[in-house]
């Protein structure tokens, strides 16, 4: 048996409870991972609360569950050690340190992962707590900046929400791609954003980035802090406004931009993959990115972990299971 955080219904953090469940058995092409750390991401918080937004509310419940998550053991990011492998697995062996992501199941002592899924060997010198904090933020930032916006060396990138879960990695990945980075956040977060590599930082309460007389090739909105209409005056002729937040308006702007010259609005979906996990492992190994962990809680305090994450902070929130 193992301990797991069970989401009995949608709602506040108090809907979570610890239950004893059977340890999953890996299939022929799966590995069983003993979880050493898992993260509580902004996406996890939204799923637990059924906070899918006005556009996706119905679809979110149809896809994930009407009254409660169809997969009640939630959690999507993990780091741990391979405890067992299926008879057809060739990529991993028992004892391998790994990290990655799954659609659910990470808030538990054990988790099964497809061999060819979103999982990679954890680089030397990276702790489980650090590794668990990487896939969500770094994977999303890589998808939106590298794949979607196609940031080029020498371009100027503005990151809105630079101290958030995606923003922290967006600063680092934009720098890795050769961009000049301006990061926007609270006054408290300015030192952290500079430490992560931002050449310029702005306190969002003190100034509006659209009034500074500067232009950017990419405005990456990780905090739902702007809009394409608001950002367009400070985008270059080939500029891209990239947002994590889907809306009918953004979708309409994306369609309209296909037949217009000038700045574009872009939105996409980031999903983990074997290839992306290896990219993140390489970025970690090279020192191009590093996670920032704000707090760690034992799995038994999963409610406290969620409440801490909801309160906000300049770093990831991690839970630490113990194998039963």
Residue 295 burial (CB count, 10 A): 16
- Percent of the chain having pLDDT more than 70? 91
Instruction: Determine, yes or no, domain membership for 273.
Output: no
174 and 127 assigned to the same domain: no
The C-alpha angle with vertex 167 and arms to 217 and 305, in degrees rounded to 5, equals: 165
pLDDT in tens, 207-241: 999 999 999 999 999 999 999 899 999 999 999 99
113 and 143 assigned to the same domain: no
30 and 145 assigned to the same domain: no
What's phi and psi for 166, nearest 5 deg?
A: -90, -40
45 and 102 assigned to the same domain: yes
**Of 143, 69, 76, whose CA–CA distance to 103 is shortest?**
76
Instruction: Determine, yes or no, domain membership for 278.
Output: no
Q: Report d(CA 202, CA 270) in Å as an integer.
A: 27
Could you tell me the pTM of the whole model? 0.92
pLDDT of residue 69: 86
117 and 140 assigned to the same domain: no
Q: Report d(CA 299, CA 150) in Å as an integer.
A: 38
Number of residues written out for the chain:
324
Q: Which residues of the chain have pLDDT under 50?
A: 323-324
Instruction: Determine, yes or no, domain membership for 38.
Output: yes
59 and 159 assigned to the same domain: no
pLDDT of residue 221: 96
Instruction: Determine, yes or no, domain membership for 315.
Output: yes
Q: Domain tally for the chain?
A: 2
CATH number at residue 182: 3.40.50.720
pLDDT in tens, 8-53: 999 999 999 999 999 999 999 999 999 999 999 998 998 898 877 6
76 and 188 assigned to the same domain: no
pLDDT of residue 50: 81
pLDDT of residue 255: 58
248 and 164 assigned to the same domain: yes
119 and 155 assigned to the same domain: no
Q: Report d(CA 50, CA 96) in Å as an integer.
A: 35
Q: Which residues constitute the domain of residue 115?
A: 2-134+291-320
Task: Tell me how far CA of residue 248 lies from CA of 279, 302, 303, in angstroms.
Answer: 32, 34, 34
**Residue 230: both structure tokens together:** 């608001």
34 and 106 assigned to the same domain: yes
């Amino acid at each position: 048996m193992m301990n797991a955080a069970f989401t009995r219904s949608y709602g506040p953090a108090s809907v979570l409870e610890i239950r004893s469940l059977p340890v999953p058995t890996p299939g022929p092409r799966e590995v069983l991972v003993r979880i050493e750390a898992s993260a509580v991401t902004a996406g996890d918080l939204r799923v637990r609360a059924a906070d899918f937004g006005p556009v996706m509310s119905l679809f979110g419940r149809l896809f994930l569950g009407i009254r409660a998550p169809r997969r009640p053991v939630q959690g999507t990011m993990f780091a741990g050690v391979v405890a067992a492998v299926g008879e057809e697995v060739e990529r991993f062996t028992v004892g391998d340190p790994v990290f990655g992501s799954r659609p659910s199941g990470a808030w538990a002592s054990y988790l099964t992962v497809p061999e060819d899924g979103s999982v990679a060997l954890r680089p030397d010198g990276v702790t489980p707590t650090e590794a668990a904090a990487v896939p969500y933020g770094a994977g999303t930032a890589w998808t939106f900046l590298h794949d979607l916006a196609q940031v080029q060396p020498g371009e100027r990138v503005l990151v809105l929400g630079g101290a958030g879960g995606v923003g922290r990695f967006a600063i680092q990945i934009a720098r890795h791609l050769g961009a000049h980075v301006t990061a926007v956040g609270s006054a408290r977060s300015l030192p952290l954003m500079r430490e992560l590599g931002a050449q310029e930082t702005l306190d969002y309460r003190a100034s509006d980035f659209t009034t500074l007389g500067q232009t950017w090739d990419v405005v990456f909105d990780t905090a739902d802090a702007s809009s394409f209409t608001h950002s367009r005056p400070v985008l270059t002729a080939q500029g891209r406004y990239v947002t994590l937040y889907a809306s009918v308006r953004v979708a309409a702007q994306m369609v309209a931009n296909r037949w217009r010259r000038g700045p574009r609005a872009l939105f996409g979906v980031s999903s983990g993959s074997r290839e992306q996990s290896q990219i993140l492992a390489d970025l970690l190994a090279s020192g191009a990115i590093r996670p920032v962990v704000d707090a760690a809680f034992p799995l038994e305090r999963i409610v406290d972990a969620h409440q801490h994450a909801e309160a906000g902070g300049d770093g990831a929130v991690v839970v630490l299971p113990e194998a039963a």
